[in-house]
Amino acid sequence: MKPKLFIDGEHGTTGLQIRERLARRDDFEMLSLAMEDRRDDEKRKEMLAACDIAILCLPDDAAREAVAMIEASGNDACKIIDTSTAHRTAQGWAYGFAELSKKQSDNIRTAKRVSNPGCYSTGAIALLKPLINTGVMSPECIVTINAVSGYTGGGKQLIAQMEDEANEKHIDTSFHLYALGLQHKHVPEIMVRSGLKKRPLFMPSVGRFAQGMLVSIPLHLEQLSYATADTVRGALEVHYDGCEYVTVASKEEAAEAGHIRPEDFAGRDDMKLWVFSNEEAGHVNLVAQLDNLGKGASGAAVQNLNLLLS
């Protein structure tokens, strides 16, 4: 019998993209609520009690509530993928970045609770984790993270503000910084999952493009025990060797790249890591290029679903 899958929040931005990716598959039975029933808690409880796998595409509090509904229903066999921030550093939840380590795919495959990574977090952790693991970077290193995302990362409200000129809160700009109080919900996740001990200074921004993301971490080589750019790139290459969804740009590619654009990865579920360098100045800039709704959200959720079904 095919496993039953329910996406709680399927009509939101992440949920819709997951449905799109799963539209042609027949290896599970999809349970679904009509748009008008999406806030009917009784009907949600029925679906959550009946499914074998639940993907939660909800705000944090609603995600916690959904987990409580599943536990209260007695559906002990149900596996959960939570795309919210609610459980990304929680005990008992497998972190849904399969490339985090060589064993992480197996950790996800055998888990009952999987927390999908954040979009910015995916890029930052992908760059930092291999360097800290190998000792190229100290976990005590002081790091600045700059990032730009497509506006779909802000959900339906920001999408409406960017796309609808009649919206009273319409944002008429090509680019803007936010989280100016230097508080962002992805920072604790980045620290816990990368191994950083000191809080990074994280500065996110939004551009007037729907999908795509660049996460940039500039470093002085002296912060890395005077390692070379080749040392940094080599640590990334070894860590992601053989990975399907994460690749590392070669030294030649980085040297020839006049520019890289976040939009170039729109609609893709993979991620590319770059190491740009000025050896004479002792500078490197690490960059992750991905789709905020692909490897940064819905694509990662489907990757984790595939592991749970394998």
Relative orientation angle of helices 13-22 and 155-163, to the nearest 10 degrees: 100
The number of residues in the chain equals 310
Compute the distance between CA of residue 114 and CA of residue 127 in angstroms, rounded to an integer. 22
Q: Please identify which residue in the block is written with the tokens 């996800």.
A: 108
Say whether both 23 and 111 belong to one domain: yes
What pLDDT, on a 0 to 100 scale, did the predictor assign at position 240?
98
Q: What is the CATH number of the domain that holds 31?
A: 3.40.50.720
Say whether both 301 and 228 belong to one domain: no
Say whether both 232 and 152 belong to one domain: yes
Compute the distance between CA of residue 289 and CA of residue 216 in angstroms, rounded to an integer. 9
What pLDDT, on a 0 to 100 scale, did the predictor assign at position 170?
77
Say whether both 79 and 157 belong to one domain: no
- Residues in a beta bridge with 94: 114
Output the six-digit token pair for 274: 């770059």
Q: What is the CATH number of the domain that holds 174?
A: 3.30.360.10
pLDDT averaged over every residue in the chain: 94
What pLDDT, on a 0 to 100 scale, did the predictor assign at position 71?
96
Half-sphere exposure of 105 (CA within 13 A, CB side): 11
Full residue range of the structural domain in which residue 112 is found: 4-117+297-309
Predicted TM-score of the model (pTM) = 0.94
Compute the distance between CA of residue 30 and CA of residue 63 in angstroms, rounded to an integer. 19
Side chain identity at residue 265, one-letter code: F
Contact 78, 52 (CB under 8 A): yes
Give the chain's domain count: 2
Contact 124, 215 (CB under 8 A): yes
Residue tagged active-site, from 51, 57, 78, 119: 119
Above 90 in pLDDT, residue 134? yes
User: Using 50, 70 and 90 to split pLDDT, how confident is the model at 9?
Assistant: very high
Of the candidates 158, 139, 165, 133, the one whose C-alpha atom is nearest the C-alpha of residue 232 is 133
What pLDDT, on a 0 to 100 scale, did the predictor assign at position 143?
97
Say whether both 160 and 268 belong to one domain: yes
Share of the chain above pLDDT 70, in %: 99
Say whether both 154 and 259 belong to one domain: yes
User: Using 50, 70 and 90 to split pLDDT, how confident is the model at 158?
Assistant: confident
What mean pLDDT comes out for the span 117-123?
97
* Residue pLDDT, tens place only, 161-210: 777 677 767 777 788 898 889 888 899 999 999 999 999 999 999 989 99
* Residue pLDDT, tens place only, 254-265: 999 999 999 999
Say whether both 149 and 113 belong to one domain: no
What pLDDT, on a 0 to 100 scale, did the predictor assign at position 153?
83
Say whether both 258 and 150 belong to one domain: yes
Share of the chain above pLDDT 90, in %: 83
Say whether both 111 and 134 belong to one domain: no
Say whether both 94 and 199 belong to one domain: no
Say whether both 272 and 124 belong to one domain: yes
- The reply to whether 51 belongs to the active site is no
**Separation of first and last alpha carbons in the chain:** 15
What pLDDT, on a 0 to 100 scale, did the predictor assign at position 56?
98
Above 80 in pLDDT, residue 156? no
What pLDDT, on a 0 to 100 scale, did the predictor assign at position 273?
98
What pLDDT, on a 0 to 100 scale, did the predictor assign at position 154?
80
